[in-house]
Chains A and B, each alone.
Chain A
Amino acid sequence: MKRKTLIQNIAFGIFRLMALSVVAILVWIIGFLVVKGAGALSWEFITESPTDGMTKGGIFPAIVGTLCLVVGSMVFAFPIGVMSGIYINEYAANNWVVKFIRVMTNNLSSIPSIVFGLFGMALFVNTLGFGDSILAGSLTLGLLVLPIVIRTTEEALKTIPDTYRQGSYALGASKLTTIRKVILPMAMPNITTGLILAVGRVSGETAPILFTCAAYFLPKLPTSIFDQVMALPYHLYVLATSGTDIEAARPVAYGTALVLILIVLIVNLLAGVLRGYFNKKLR
């Protein structure tokens, strides 16, 4: 064997091994949490409240809280994000406005989540006087995931060939009609991908809700958007680091971590399926 080939084989072997270790890390994390957490999962675990100083019982209030935050942030971020994406791709001529919006969207997505937490506390909780509430938390999380929705919308619209637009115009349809009747229905599955990814992100974020809505423990479920809520990621944080008896709370913590992982798995799976469906339809 030539020296050149030998070096190449060794190098490629190393590359393969290192790429494989990335997979191994993921398998390790998920496998570990599944093995440790599976024992805690049960119907009672997801339908009951925590008991015995959070060392027993379920995580139902945290699930409800996270659901509230997901719905709340999506009601806000999804329409605005989609409209924003439509504007960038369909209306704004490709000039400095688009470039500016894109740069700003990029910047927004690179801001650390804890800064969103600070901002949400200063604006929504203190200045606007919402207090620690679902409303404040949802708005903060909504702003956080806005770039995801905008970007996926933009990408979805971009993949639709111009011939569809021209065809619609040729039939006498206006721009708005074209968008509403031709472009949006076609792009919808891919836009929904953005929605789903945003849901995944919202359900896992902790830092932005620390000071805007999350509660350590609440005896009853929220009744209005001005109530505080428990939330899954914050619940896991509390169980893992503070609490009356950290060791005794470990099984519940493993279970909560597993639920969070499952949400992420489902979200990614759904997004993947939708994307595949969309691409097939386009072809």
Chain B
Amino acid sequence: MKKFFETVVEKILMVSGTITSLTIILIIVFLFSQATGLFNSSVVEENHSLVVNSQNRVQTLTPMQIKDIFDQEITSWIEVGGEDEDIIVFRFSDITSYVSEEELGDEFQFIPQVMSKIINENPAIIAFLPDQYLPNPTDGTRVMDCGDITLGDFFGGEEWFPTAQPAPLFGVLPLILGTLWVSLAAILFALPFGLAGAIFLSELASSRVRSLLKPIIELLAGIPSVVYGFFGLVVIVPLLQDWFNLAVGETALAGAIILAIMALPTIITVAEDAIRSVPRTIREASLALGASKFQTIVKVVIPYAVSGIMAAVVLGIGRAIGETMAVLMVTGNAAVIPTTLLEPVRTIPATIAAELGEAPTGGVHYEALFMLGVILFVITLVISITVEIIASKRPKQIM
């Protein structure tokens, strides 16, 4: 009986041991299952279509072209491969400027006929209509087949404009570049301080100073990201605005500074562990050869610990890439491809946090945001595998 009880307990413990693995599998399953619908969604907004005159030679339009047409950036069909005719843009709300309300019928039952009349009279028209009001396709009209959102549109697109009508733009390039831009800048700021801190802690500080500094670094790691964001918003942002004479202080630079502070504890702790694990004999051999302590650190200790330091840097980058709230609050969130540190950027996590609340569940926008989650997940997975590989690499034997 007792034996049986022990076995049961062991099995229960084993099950709880698998829960982290199970969670990861569930995360993968759910992120992907919510996101994959994106590439089966049509380019044009759901339950809507673009209708043209059947004489129109243009067979298909890209999301970018659709946006430019409706923004009047493209004004002639010749620019998208058609006749040299000025494009007439027709939104559904424009219908009353073509016909009177009586002609639409009491229950709008005549709209399809009215539409086919309008489209036949205006060969250069492009009409954006809800699907229930589509004219009969035999009436000299044609629904433009724009296809589904492609991988190229998503990963190669340079504009993120999920609420654009008639075709939302899900170009993820500015978001990916924005994320990398802010994170790499943050690591560049944090690395010298992190490395100096790690060297100081492991090589220079007395054990009393060390036992004082360690909790301080833990505290820095424990401050919630929203507090960092708030601090950035009320202190760093106005400061930058002042220094650089900017119209807005919410910039990539503000994000990078806050992220650098947030990444510091990770970098210091991991790098310090790496430096500490350098065998004493190697240090002593160097000192015995007449090298100074500083020379020993630079020429022996750091080269020996370099894989651990690399791991610290990569981990720090991972932290920075995934950080949401602080970045959301200080970077200004403009979805443009960044060129300098002094303009607003928008990162992947900030986009998810800012937009998921407004995206209807199951819609294209929702799916696109989950696809961003997938990208983020994959990036962090690659990073933690990289760290695993770097950290497990044995340092080169020093002969």
Contacts and interface: CB of A to CB of B under 8 A. Distances in A.
A100 interface: yes
Contacts of A22: 193, 197, 216-217, 220, 264, 268
Given A87-B13, A207-B349, A112 B323 contact: yes
A147 B20 contact: yes
B187 interface: no
A105 B20 contact: yes
B182 interface: no
B196 A237 contact: no
Contacts of B321: 112
A206 B23 contact: no
Given A240-B230, A265-B219, A5 B31 contact: no
Interface residues of B, number: 82
For the residues of B in contact with A, the DSSP-based class is helix
A87 B19 CA distance: 12
Given A92-B17, A207-B324, A257-B227, A118 B197 contact: no
B293 interface: yes
Interface in B9-51: 9-10, 12-14, 16-21, 23-24, 26-27, 30-31, 33-34
Contacts of B384: 106-107, 110
Contacts of A250: 234
A122 B193 contact: no
Given A83-B12, A83-B13, A111-B380, A127 B30 contact: yes
A235 to B, nearest CB: 9
A136 interface: no
Interface of B: 2, 5-6, 9-10, 12-14, 16-21, 23-24, 26-27, 30-31, 33-34, 192-193, 196-197, 199-201, 204-205, 213, 215-220, 222-231, 233-235, 261, 264, 268, 292-295, 315, 318, 321-325, 329, 349, 352-353, 356-357, 361, 369-370, 373, 376-377, 380-381, 383-384, 388
30 contacts: A12-B294, A19-B197, A19-B200, A22-B217, A25-B261, A26-B216, A29-B223, A83-B12, A83-B13, A83-B17, A84-B20, A86-B13, A97-B17, A101-B20, A101-B21, A107-B384, A110-B380, A112-B321, A115-B27, A118-B34, A123-B26, A146-B20, A204-B226, A207-B325, A237-B229, A237-B329, A257-B231, A264-B219, A264-B222, A264-B223
